[in-house]
Amino acid sequence: MKLIILIIALCSFNVFASDVVEIDFLTEMDDESYRDATPTVYRGEGVHQCQSRDSIGHTCENAGVNFTDCNVAFFKLKMTDCCPDSRYGGNSINFKLTKCSYYN
């Protein structure tokens, strides 16, 4: 029984295949091709307006990197509520994207 399982495992990994081709992209791509292949990354900063039992209108700032564009930065930073961790706590009642730029 163990021999059958071993044979099935070896066949499923395709160990006996000899048509495997390995590509080293460090030597195969020139600089321009590499720059074109890498995705554009954006950095965004935003401000949440917060509301709590102790304070209304206090703000907190959050920032992030690795966004594909400024729209994605806006929605992801808006969903990341920093108000509970602020001095007065509470929840976000408004969000504004203050800065979005290409990050390299």
User: Which residue's entry shows tokens 């949440």?
Assistant: 48
- Whether 29 is covered by a domain: the verdict is no
- Whether 16 is covered by a domain: the verdict is no
- Whether 65 is covered by a domain: the verdict is yes
**Mean pLDDT across 47-53:** 95
- Whether 69 is covered by a domain: the verdict is yes
Predicted confidence (pLDDT) per residue in 63-84, tens digit: 999 999 999 999 999 999 999 9
Task: Enter the pTM of the model.
Answer: 0.63
pLDDT given at position 40: 82
Domain with 47, as residue range(s), is 37-104
Contacts of 92 (CB under 8 A, 6+ apart): 48, 49, 50, 51, 78, 81, 82, 83
Q: Indicate if the pLDDT at residue 18 is higher than 90.
A: no
**Distance (Å) of CA 52 to CA 39, 41, 55, 62, 77:** 40, 35, 5, 18, 20
SS3 at position 53? coil
Comparing 28-32, 38-42, 48-52, 71-75, which segment has the lowest mean pLDDT? 28-32
Q: Which residue has better confidence, 55 or 23?
A: 55
Q: Hey, which residues does 99 pair with through a beta bridge?
A: 45
- Whether 8 is covered by a domain: the verdict is no
pLDDT given at position 8: 67
